[in-house]
């Protein structure tokens, strides 16, 4: 199927994503007084800071449907830009300026989603997350320097983008003379893929890289890949006895064909190198990937394995597709979740 223009919410890919956590912004992008508009799984959301932390709501005022993200935050309440109605962070209308002496309508048309902050990033789930935000193994280890890269914006599907991140056999071609030699591409030895409650992980995959990292030196790199949830992937890259270059990738599905990639790298060597040197290499690599991933058709990742050809080095991608399919099927079996207590009620009343 070519891009349909909006998410097919009956699709197993959508179902596999709805209940998981997604990164929608860096924490410092959400100002004290200024709401932030973001998009997730085809829905417009507003992020705003209330007395109890960052809220993620549907970007919609229940009075006449204006976008709350065009408004402002005053005294811990969000004010709609159209008629100035105010909402508390409990999702209740608390002020109607046109009727200051009247009790505001009790009807709740605000959709409140799960939101939390971790690793300097704002995470949101539109559904019911079954587990916590994934663990970033090096985050609390002071021996690893952390650098935020991106966000990179792809006109492509998030699952295609993650699969690209998990793919070692494209290195010599897409990242020629950085991550591989196009005239002498590494054969990929067989490797294992393990599935456990933390998702998928591989045994080591070894490749030669002419410009292996921000130091600009050739390395023999030993990659171990993990997929913690469908759009959170990670690798550890060993390039010496103790040297580790780790990346924690979140591919946010803004829409079916629109992805925002948030990356944090964790490195325990090269302390003399600048952040600009680290970012320069990441930016080049992700730009090289962008033009390929944006070219892939269909936009959506085929979860039926018969739709594309696979070889042994694609084993992680094959297991990833199988896993996504099973997550989508499991979500289907549960059926449509009843509305959460914080989702809008539609009982009619007016004041």
Which residues are at the interface with ligand FES (CB under 6 A)? 61, 63-64, 66, 80, 82-83, 85
Q: What is the DSSP letter of 304?
A: S
Matching residue, tokens 């992700």: 286
Buried residues in 174-206 as b, exposed as e (16+ CB within 10 A): bbeebbbbeeebbebeebebeeeeebbbbeebe
Out of Fe ion, ligand FES, none, what residue 289 binds, judged by CB under 5 to 8 A for its kind, is Fe ion
Out of Fe ion, ligand FES, none, what residue 245 binds, judged by CB under 5 to 8 A for its kind, is none
Q: Which is nearer to Fe ion, 77 or 289 (CB)?
A: 289
Q: How far is CA 154 from the centre of its chain?
A: 12
Q: How far is the CB of 167 from Fe ion (least distance, A)?
A: 7
Query: How buried is 336 (Cβ within 10 angstroms: 0-12 exposed, 13-18 middle, 19+ buried)?
Result: exposed
Q: Is 196 left (phi over 0), alpha (psi -120 to 50) or beta?
A: beta
Out of ligand FES, Fe ion, none, what residue 82 binds, judged by CB under 5 to 8 A for its kind, is ligand FES
Q: How far is the CB of 248 from Fe ion (least distance, A)?
A: 16
What is the rounded distance in angstroms from the CA atom of residue 132 to the CA atom of residue 81?
34
Out of ligand FES, Fe ion, none, what residue 85 binds, judged by CB under 5 to 8 A for its kind, is ligand FES
Out of ligand FES, Fe ion, none, what residue 21 binds, judged by CB under 5 to 8 A for its kind, is none
Q: Which is nearer to ligand FES, 64 or 312 (CB)?
A: 64
Q: How far is the CB of 85 from Fe ion (least distance, A)?
A: 47
Out of Fe ion, ligand FES, none, what residue 7 binds, judged by CB under 5 to 8 A for its kind, is none
Q: How far is the CB of 342 from ligand FES (least distance, A)?
A: 19
Q: Which is nearer to ligand FES, 48 or 144 (CB)?
A: 48
331-340: Cβ within 8 A, 24+ apart: 331/12, 331/15, 331/16, 331/18, 331/19, 332/12, 332/15, 337/127, 337/128, 340/128
> Cα-atom radius of gyration of the chain, to the nearest Å?
22
- Which residues make beta-bridge pairs with 154? 259
Q: Which is nearer to ligand FES, 57 or 171 (CB)?
A: 57
Q: How many CA atoms lie within 13 A of 49 on its CB side?
A: 11
Which residues contact Fe ion by CB under 5 A?
289
Q: Which is nearer to ligand FES, 76 or 120 (CB)?
A: 76
Q: How far is the CB of 61 from ligand FES (least distance, A)?
A: 3
Q: Which is nearer to ligand FES, 61 or 233 (CB)?
A: 61
Q: What is the DSSP letter of 27?
A: G
Out of Fe ion, ligand FES, none, what residue 64 binds, judged by CB under 5 to 8 A for its kind, is ligand FES
Q: Which is nearer to ligand FES, 61 or 219 (CB)?
A: 61
């Amino acid at each position: 199927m070519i891009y349909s223009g909006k998410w097919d919410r009956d699709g197993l890919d959508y179902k596999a994503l709805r209940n998981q956590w997604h990164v929608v912004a860096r924490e410092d992008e959400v100002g004290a007084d200024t709401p932030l508009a973001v998009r997730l799984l085809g829905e417009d959301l507003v992020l705003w800071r209330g007395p109890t932390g960052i809220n993620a709501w549907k970007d919609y005022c229940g009075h006449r449907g204006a976008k709350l993200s065009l408004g402002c935050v005053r005294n811990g309440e969000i004010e709609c830009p159209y008629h100035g109605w105010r909402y508390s962070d409990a999702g209740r209308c608390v002020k109607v300026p046109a009727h200051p002496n009247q009790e505001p309508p009790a009807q709740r048309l605000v959709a409140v989603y799960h939101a939390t902050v971790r690793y300097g990033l704002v995470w949101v789930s539109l559904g019911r997350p079954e587990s916590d935000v994934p663990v970033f193994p090096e985050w609390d280890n002071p021996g690893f320097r952390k650098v935020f890269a991106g966000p990179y914006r792809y006109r492509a599907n998030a699952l295609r983008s993650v699969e690209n991140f998990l793919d070692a056999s494209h290195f010599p071609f897409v990242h020629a003379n950085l991550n591989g030699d196009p005239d002498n591409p590494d054969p990929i030895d067989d490797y294992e893929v393990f599935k456990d409650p933390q998702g998928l992980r591989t045994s080591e995959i070894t490749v030669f890289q002419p410009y292996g990292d921000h130091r600009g030196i050739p390395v023999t790199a030993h990659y171990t890949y993990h997929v913690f949830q469908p759009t959170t992937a990670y690798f550890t890259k060993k390039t010496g006895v103790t040297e580790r270059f780790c990346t924690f990738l979140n591919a946010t599905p803004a829409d079916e064909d629109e992805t925002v990639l948030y990356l944090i790298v964790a490195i325990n060597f090269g302390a003399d190198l600048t952040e600009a040197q680290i970012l320069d290499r990441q930016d080049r690599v992700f730009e090289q990937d962008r033009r390929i991933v944006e070219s892939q058709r269909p936009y959506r990742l085929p979860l039926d394995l018969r739709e594309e050809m696979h070889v042994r080095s694609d084993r992680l991608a094959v297991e990833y597709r199988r896993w996504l399919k099973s997550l989508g099927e499991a979500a289907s079996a549960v059926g449509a979740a009843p509305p959460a207590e914080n989702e809008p009620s539609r009982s009619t009343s007016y004041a």
